[in-house]
Amino acid sequence: MEKLDFSAYFTFFNKSEILCFIIDNCGVVASINDIGQSVFNINETQNVKLENIKTIINNNQFTNNLLETFEKGRKIFEFEINSSKNQTIPYEIYTKKIIVDNNTYIACSAYTIINKKEVQNKILSAVIETEEKERNRFAKDLHDGLGPLLSTIKLYVHELNSDDNTKNEKEEYINYIIELLDEAVTNTREISNNLTPQIISTYGLVKSIDSFKNKINATHKLDVSFTHKNIPDNIEKTIKLTLFRIITELINNSIKHASANNIFIDLFSENNILHLNYKDDGIGFNLSKALKNGSSGIGLINIINRIKSMSGNFYFNEQVKVGVDMQFSIEIITEDE
């Protein structure tokens, strides 16, 4: 094929940052601008074939994509160049079939898309981070929402096997189990929709805690004392949900790990700050050592993270010799604000 002179075509493009070149139907570079010669590390007088251009990463795929233009008429795709500084530079290329003097060629123009790739990578990172946070939230909600309910159900089931309980007591336990299972089913549905538990929406924070406490006390294996003072009815729902999750998870920990007989919960507000004091008379543990060794379990980590997420404060009294003594405080935000 006679080599045509495309120099006039490239006069404008030689002063731009656009990589331009033309190939013939044999895959030979018929003409290429200055930027292209630099990027491909070739000279247009060399009659170089696409498949022999060394700077193109995955050259076979690049060549196949480009030659498809002879069939489809035009094509857009991405490719990568290995620069002289051994850096990978992404390009987006636009190709179009042209006919000059009855000869078929492919005209190509390519643009660096480093910034585009950086934006895509940032978006991808944000998506991955968001998905990870959502998975963590879902795990926390499952653990904190269903864990305490299932632990309580386990207590009742254990009592059903005991010969020390009367028939009436066992019937009462069965009713409590059914009630707790219903709540667990509801919680599962609400967790999937990221909604506040129905008991919070229906009865409010204080009555929800009181109801949960009564179910625990009905087992007669653990005595939970709950006092409260000056708790606003219109506390923002996220705070109500967080406190309810924290309290039920703390009770769950006392049941599963502490071998406690008594739990003391005090919830009160003062100077627009909501305070929660939690104590039990169980075996206790060393918080600093537990966190350092990773043996504190997901429960306590979730509790601390939930408090921190709302800029709250957490205090663990390590001076006590029996049980645990924890204090939490969160600034009150009402739904009106």
DSSP string covering 220-239, please? SS-EEEEEEES--TTB-HHH
Q: Starting from the edge strand earliest in sequence, which strands make up the sheet with 74-82, in order?
A: 29-32, 19-24, 103-112, 88-100, 74-82, 56-57
pLDDT of residue 174: 86
d(CA 119, CA 135): 24
pLDDT of residue 226: 95
pLDDT of residue 123: 45
Per DSSP, the three-state class of 69 is helix
Residue in the structure block whose two tokens are 């404060």: 313
Integer-rounded Cα Rg, in Å, for the chain is 35
d(CA 287, CA 301): 11
DSSP state of 4: P
Architecture of domain 17-112: 2-Layer Sandwich (3.30)
Sign of CA pseudo-dihedral 170, 176, 180, 181:
positive
pLDDT of residue 268: 95
pLDDT of residue 259: 79
Which residues 6+ apart lie within 8 Å of 78 measured at CB? 90, 91, 92, 93, 113
pLDDT of residue 202: 74
What's 119-331's CATH class?
alpha beta
pTM of the model: 0.46
pLDDT of residue 280: 92
Residue pLDDT, tens place only, 167-221: 888 888 888 888 888 888 777 766 654 545 566 777 788 998 998 888 888 877 7
* Residue ranges per structural domain of the chain: 17-112, 119-331
pLDDT of residue 43: 81
pLDDT of residue 206: 92
pLDDT of residue 274: 93
The CB-side HSE value for 245 (13 A sphere, CA atoms) comes to: 29
DSSP state of 334: B
Low-confidence ranges of the chain (pLDDT < 50): 1-2, 123, 126-127, 130, 193, 195
